[in-house]
Structures are given as C-alpha cells and as structure tokens.
C-alpha cells in the first residue's frame, strides 16, 4: 500500500472519515465503531433512470454517454460539496450521502445544498437520442450523532457503514422535499444562524431553506497529507483493489440485483448499546460477505433508509457470474438460513431482480464509486420493500431462470412506482435438493459434428469394460459441447448396462470437501430425494455390508461425506484427521471396485475447473485400480494440468473440443429449419460454437442488436477474464469491425501488437 497508484485509489473510493480513522496509530482492530457528530445531507436525483433506459438501446455508445453525463453531474456537485468541506460518504446509485462535521456543520450543509440546487439548472435540459431529459434533486439535512462501524471478515473484506436513529432520520427527512428544494429537520434548523431564511413546510418539524448569506469558510488541508494504512484496501471491491476497473467508462450489462433491508439495528443500538450492536452487525455482515464471495457476487454499497439499513449486491457486475440468477437466489436462501439459526436480533427482507443495468464507476475525479443504475435496480428495491420480514421476493425474470432449483410460490402481481402494469412476483421458500446431472437423459436433438470423438469414446469404453481402468479429460471453451457429448456417450453406456454416475462441480462448491462425489455416492447407496436422515443412514449401512462387509465399521465416514447424521462408533471416533481421511478413501475405493465387478462403472464430472481438492484426490486414488472396469470422464474449460492429477494409471485420453466446421454447423441449422438466407449470417456470428448456433437458431437473432441471454453470459464471462489492457483494447477494436488490417491497431492504446499477434488476424 505504499505506491502512488494505491494511494490514489484509496482517496478516490473511500470516505475521508474512514481514511482519517486508520491514520491514527492507535487504530489496530479491523472491527470497530465510533460516533460522528455533525450533519448528514441526503440528495436524491431523479431523471437518471429514464435516461439510462433510453441510452441502453444505443449499446456501448449509450453507456459511454451515460457515464459522461453522470460524471459531469457528480464532478459539479461534489466540487460544490468540497468547497463547503463536505465529505461524500456513500453513493446510492445516483443518490449522494454527504457528511459535514466540525464548526458550523449545519450552516455549511444548508449553504452547500442551496448552491447545489442552483447548479442543477445546468442539467435541466439534456438531449438524449430524440428526447430531452431533465435532472432534478431533492435534498434533506439532519443534524445529530451517527454511529460509523467497520465490520466484515477478520482477515479479508471489510465494510464501512453508518447506523443509528439520526442516520434513519436523515433518510426520512429527504422525501419531505419537493424536487428543487432543500429541507432540514428541526434538529438541523436549531444549528442554523441568522444568515439563513427557513420557512415551515406542510410537514411537521421540517423546514425549507430559502436563501442564505453565509460566508464560506476555508476548506480543510489537502487530504493527501493523511497517512494511508494498508487495511484500507480491504474496504474496496476486489476488482477495484486490483486495478481491473481503471476508468470512469461504464457499460450496460445483464445483472441480477439483490437488495437487502436490514432491520432492528437502530433499536438494538438504543437498547443494547454500541458493543452489542457492533457485534451483531459484524456477524451479520460476515454472513453476507462470506456468501457473496462463495456465489460470485459483489457488495456494491450500503445505503441509509428510514427504518434500517440497505445493502445493494450485484451478480454479473462488475465481473460476470456463472448462473447469476441461481447464484443470487442461493445466496439469499443461505443468508436466510444462517440468520434464522443465529442468535442475532437483526431481521431482513430481500428483493431480487434480473435485467440490464448501467454499471460503472461514477463520481468526480476526486471521489467515485462503482454502482448500478436503471429500472432493474429500482425494481429490485421495490421488491425488497414489498417483501415480508424474513422473506425473499423475486421478479418473474429471476425466478423463471432458476427452473426447479428452488421451492417457490407465485404471488399476486403487485403494482410498483414507475410501472404501468402489475409485476409478476414469486416468493422463494427454500432450496430444493436438486442436481442437473444425476442421471443421463436422452437428448431429443441429434449430435452434430462429433462422430469421430464419439467413436473414440466408445473405443475407450470397450477397453475399460475388458478390465482396464481409464480416464478421459475433455477440455474446451464454454458452449463448445463438452457436456452434450459426454452425456450422449454416457447415455449409450447406460443403455448397454453400465452403472452411470455423474455430478457437476459449481463455482460455489470449490471449497466443499468431496462435493463432486455427493450425487454419485448417493446413487450407489440408493438414496433418493425422498429419504429422510434415518432412511439414508440405513441404506448406507446396508450397501456397505453388501459390497464390503469387512469395512462396515467405516460406514460413518461415508455418511459424513453425504452430510447424513449418524451414531458413529468407537473405532471411527478414535481416528485422527489423517487416518480418517485415509480410511475414507480406502473404503470408497474398495466399494467402487466391488460395485464394478457387477457392472462396469462410468463416472462423469462436469465443470471440473471447479472441482474441490478432496474430490480430485479421490479421483486419483480410484485410478490406481488399474484392473477394474471403471471409466472417469472429466469435462473442463481448462486444459489438463499434469501437476493437479497424479494417477498411477497411464490410461489417459486427452480430448480438446474445437468449433464445428461450417458443414456441421449448416446441418445443425437445417435441423432447426432456419431459413436458407439466414444460415450464413448465423454461422458467421456463432463461429462454430454449438451453443451459439443453437441459441441463435432458436431466437432467430441475427441483426446484432441483441443476443440470447445464454450467449451473452458466455461472451461476458470470456471478456471479463481478460486483463485490463486487453479488455480495453478489445472494446476499442470492436468499433472497427471483425476483420481489419493489423496496422489499424497501431493507433489504439498499448498492447496492440501483442493482441494482433495473439489473434493471428491481419
């Protein structure tokens, strides 16, 4: 944290109150709370959402224009705030929360608010496409004491937020203002002097500031004089901390937004004091941060509210997320479960929505944050407000993408602000016991262009059936057809009498021991989704006694893998950790060997780029059974790393799937009865990727204006994993076209030559 770049990132993205705390040599613990006295100003801007929706139709150009307007606006407003020594605490989308401390805090806040409203005239007529848009702002100010806390993971991410009655009161004052007004609470008015004229509004104890002749005080010394503590980097989103979001350029991207309303923190602070409130909000935020880290989300911000505290979480921005709707709802369900089983007095309600948002860094050159703006974000907030305490409400757009993974109930459509028609909503009750690939399903769509690979796979299966343990490692990019080919292959083996076992690795199971083996072992034991814990335990003991009776004492070790409660026994309880692991592996190896003597076994693991280390170790151990008819089929987006697998068998076949030929692509499109005049256009767009071909054929999207969501998600995932320089270059080069002279890249930013040589295009 000693470099100039790191220091500038800290100053631009974190409030000065937080930086000042960590400049104190006495500051040691990452978990702390302290009171701030002064005035809070909440500014709510209207007009940006409608503008964002209009500009979304213009793609990248619209996103850049949106970012430009946002940043012009915040540069102007935060410049005024800086003149009055106001500290930007939070961006709530297009809203601002400013803190004024020290001498005459309420006077400076009120004067700042009036100056900001005068400057709003500069944004009263913004031409966008064929329409003109006007920005307007409501400003509310309240004076009091605000409890600022640092909470989160002890050794990783932290979050800085404001709590307490006076924080909630600030959020309650702002809606009392009309657009263009600055209103203050009675507490703030009492701090104003004769330089201000204030009139009573129609709301009790709310005053409108009309004008002032208050003279501006000199601003505080330059903030760059404050020392930087290395812990400050922990308050940044990882992509920002790593420098992967380097500019103010935004983008419109498909995102799933989770809004959480945390309740009862204010009451807890009043009744139980600072220490207990800090402890409980810290534990709650640990649940949140652990969950979003597990499921691939990002905590965008926390925001003030009239009755509690709000969290805005995004899945799909700033970095893409696999199965974003499913992961977002899984996160919410798991958070619900953790809160319900905790000692915490805090409660929450959750709203989730999916769609396109403007996503990017907004603010001034001196202070900015990453945020999401648009109707999708607003609707998620409306759903949060409509949820009962302890419940999760999602839009139809989110719920329908999750399929049958969750037990959900369709509720009566609701009317929300900004929507002319009622919104279909669902209540998420719980996660289902569900697995996409527990049993091979026969595909109704023919398999195109993989005849040679299928012939090779069947040849390997014949060798395995003769008693030679083998494994296949199939790699290729997302959408290239690895899962489709493997499942077709496994279905054929299933029909030939093989025992077929399959499981899928997920990004959120990477750190869950033996998770890849969960469903294969349940199938061997005959455990169904309808079995209760007692029934499942009985099936485990019977299966082990049948196949390997000499090892029945180790049945609890298998039950533990499957998260099934069991009585255990003295032998197992006496084992140390290493011996338990060794006995578990040995028991499963012997079990698979015995099972394979009755029927040859094929075990398919999909998405093994996410396989957990314990599952991988077990794969390696099973492959030591060189004379058993067991075949592993591992599919991964990554090429085989020999350092990760050390099987004793040499019966390995590496297969890398590549794009379909134009002839095979045409056969696939003919099957979908695509119009002849559209075939070449789809082939050109899909570039031989089977997923792209099928989705484009189904959607008949060929104009380039939009893409099916499945295709969009795959493309965004690939783009987001490029380094910052290449990503920036690719965005610039995309304006030129798909084919261009490499010399054109010389006029673009650095890395052009490297990019040109890697692509091999000229």
The CA-atom distances, in angstroms, between 637 and each of 327, 611, 743 are: 20, 12, 32
- Residue 539 maps to a domain: yes
The first and second tokens of residue 320, run together, are 């893409």
Quote the pLDDT of residue 729.
Answer: 60
Q: Assess if residue 445 is contained within a domain.
A: no
Question: How many domains does one find in the chain?
Answer: 3
Phi, psi of 717 (to 5 degrees): -65, -40
Of 676, 632, 625, 668, give the one whose Cα is nearest residue 648.
625
- 550 and 628 together in one domain: yes
Give domain status of residue 440, yes or no: no
What is residue 26's predicted lDDT score, i.e. its pLDDT? Answer: 85
What is the model's pLDDT at position 745?
Answer: 57
Residue 154, burial from CB neighbour count under 10 angstroms (0-12, 13-18, 19+): exposed
696 and 734 co-located in one domain: yes
Between strands 32-46 and 136-152, the pairing is: antiparallel
Q: CB-based burial of residue 673 (10 Å sphere; 0-12 exposed, 13-18 middle, 19+ buried)?
A: exposed
Q: What share of the chain is helix, strand, coil (3-state, %, to 5)?
A: 45, 25, 30
Q: How far apart are CA 153 and CA 276, in angstroms?
A: 17
pLDDT in tens, 481-511: 999 999 999 999 999 999 999 988 988 899 8
Coil, helix or strand at residue 747: helix
Which domain does 557 fall in, by range?
451-656
Antiparallel, parallel or unpaired: β 406-414 and 423-431: antiparallel
Q: Give pLDDT, residue 695.
A: 82
* Same domain, yes or no: 592 and 702: no
Task: Annotate 354-374 with b (16+ C-beta within 10 A) or e (fewer).
Answer: bbbbbbbbbbbeebbbbbbbb
460 and 424 together in one domain: no
CATH of the domain at 162: 3.30.70.1230
DSSP 8-state class, residue 245? -
Same domain, 111 and 246: yes
d(CA 165, CA 671): 64
**What is the predicted pLDDT for the residue at 752?**
46
Q: Do residues 610 and 509 lie in contact, with contact meaning Cβ atoms separated by under 8 Å? A: yes
Contact (CB, 8 A) for 95 and 43: yes
Q: Mean pLDDT for each 10-residue chunk of the chain (762 residues)?
A: 63 94 88 97 90 77 82 94 94 90 94 96 87 92 97 94 96 95 96 91 94 76 68 92 65 93 96 97 97 95 91 93 92 96 96 93 89 91 95 95 89 84 93 57 77 95 91 93 93 94 90 93 92 95 97 96 93 95 95 95 94 92 88 93 61 92 92 89 87 80 54 63 60 55 56 46 36
Per-residue pLDDT, 753: 46
The answer on 638 and 667 residing in a single domain is no
- Sequence-ordered strand ranges (E) for 478-537: 499-504
| Upstream peptide bond of 318 is cis (omega within 30 degrees of 0) | yes
179 lies in some domain: yes
Q: Tell me the C-alpha distance between 305 and 90, whole Å.
A: 13
Instruction: Report d(CA 233, CA 5) in Å as an integer.
Output: 12
Q: Mark whether 472 and 407 lie in a shared domain.
A: no
16 & 161 share domain: yes
- Domain-embedded: residue 108: yes
Q: Domain check: are 702 and 629 in the same one?
A: no
Let me know whether 697 and 651 are in one domain: no
């Amino acid at each position: 944290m000693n470099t100039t770049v790191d220091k500038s990132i800290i100053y631009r993205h974190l409030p000065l109150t937080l930086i000042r705390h960590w400049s104190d040599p006495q500051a040691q613990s990452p978990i702390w709370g302290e009171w701030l006295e002064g005035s809070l100003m909440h500014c709510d801007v209207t007009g940006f959402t409608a503008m964002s929706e209009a500009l979304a139709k213009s793609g990248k150009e619209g996103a850049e224009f949106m970012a430009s307007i946002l940043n012009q606006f915040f540069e102007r407003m935060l410049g005024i705030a800086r003149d009055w020594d106001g500290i930007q605490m939070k961006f709530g989308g297009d809203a601002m929360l400013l803190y004024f401390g020290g001498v005459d805090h309420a006077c400076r806040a009120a004067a700042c608010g009036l100056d900001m409203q005068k400057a709003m005239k500069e944004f009263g007529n913004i031409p966008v496409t064929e329409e003109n848009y006007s920005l307007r702002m409501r400003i509310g100010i309240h004076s009091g004491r605000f409890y600022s806390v640092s909470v989160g993971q002890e050794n990783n991410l932290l979050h800085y937020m404001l709590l307490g009655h006076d924080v909630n009161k600030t959020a309650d004052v702002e809606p009392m203002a009309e657009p263009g007004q600055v209103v203050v609470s009675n507490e703030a008015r009492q701090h104003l002097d004769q330089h201000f004229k204030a009139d009573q509004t129609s709301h009790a104890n709310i005053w409108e500031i009309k004008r002032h002749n208050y003279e501006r005080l000199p601003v505080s010394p330059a903030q760059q004089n404050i020392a930087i503590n290395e812990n400050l980097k922990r308050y940044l989103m990882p992509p920002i901390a790593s420098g992967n979001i380097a500019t103010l350029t935004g983008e419109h991207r498909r995102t799933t937004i989770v809004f959480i309303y945390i309740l009862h923190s204010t009451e807890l602070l009043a009744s139980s004091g600072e220490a207990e409130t800090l402890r409980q909000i810290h534990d709650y935020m640990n649940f949140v941060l652990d969950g979003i880290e597990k499921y691939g989300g990002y905590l965008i911000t926390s925001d003030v509210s009239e009755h509690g505290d709000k969290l805005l979480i995004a899945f799909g921005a700033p970095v893409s997320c696999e199965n974003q709707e499913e992961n977002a709802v899984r996160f919410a369900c798991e958070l619900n479960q953790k809160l319900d089983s905790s000692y915490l007095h805090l409660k929450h309600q959750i709203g989730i929505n999916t769609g396109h948002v403007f996503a990017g860094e907004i603010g001034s050159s001196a202070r900015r944050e990453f945020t999401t703006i648009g109707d999708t974000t607003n609707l998620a907030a409306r759903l949060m407000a409509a949820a009962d305490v302890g419940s999760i409400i999602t839009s139809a757009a989110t719920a329908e993408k999750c399929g049958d993974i969750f037990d959900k109930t369709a509720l009566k459509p609701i009317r929300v602000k900004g929507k002319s028609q009622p919104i279909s909503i669902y209540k998420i009750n719980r996660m289902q016991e569900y697995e996409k690939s527990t049993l091979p399903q026969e595909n109704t769509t023919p398999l195109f262009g993989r005849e040679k690979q299928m012939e090779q796979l069947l040849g390997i299966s014949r060798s395995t059936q003769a008693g030679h343990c083998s494994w296949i490692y199939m790699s290729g990019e997302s959408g290239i057809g690895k899962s489709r080919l493997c499942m077709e292959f496994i279905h054929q083996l299933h029909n030939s009498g093989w025992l077929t076992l399959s499981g899928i690795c997920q990004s959120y199971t990477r750190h869950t021991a033996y998770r890849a083996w969960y469903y294969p072992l349940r199938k061997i034991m005959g455990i169904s989704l309808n079995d209760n814990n007692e029934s499942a335990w009985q099936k485990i003991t019977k299966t082990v006694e049948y196949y390997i009776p000499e090892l029945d004492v180790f049945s609890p070790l298998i039950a533990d893998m499957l998260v099934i409660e069991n009585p255990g026994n003295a032998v197992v309880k006496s084992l140390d950790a290493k011996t338990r692991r060794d006995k578990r592996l040995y028991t499963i190896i012997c079990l698979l060997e015995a099972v394979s003597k009755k029927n040859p076994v094929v075990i398919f693991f999909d998405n093994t780029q996410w396989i957990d280390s314990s599952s991988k170790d077990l794969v390696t151990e099973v492959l030591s059974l060189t004379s058993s008819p067991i075949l592993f089929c591992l599919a991964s987006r990554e090429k085989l790393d020999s350092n990760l697998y050390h099987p004793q068998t040499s019966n390995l076949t590496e297969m890398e799937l590549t794009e379909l030929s134009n002839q095979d692509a045409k056969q696939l499109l003919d099957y979908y009865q695509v119009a002849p005049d559209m075939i070449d256009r789809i082939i050109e767009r899909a570039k031989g990727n089977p997923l792209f071909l099928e989705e484009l054929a189904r959607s008949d999207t060929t104009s380039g204006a939009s893409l099916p969501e499945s295709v969009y998600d795959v493309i965004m995932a690939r783009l987001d994993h490029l380094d910052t320089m290449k990503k920036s270059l690719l965005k610039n080069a995309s304006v030129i076209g798909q084919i261009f002279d490499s010399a054109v890249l010389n006029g673009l930013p650095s890395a052009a030559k490297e990019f040109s040589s890697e692509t091999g295009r000229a």
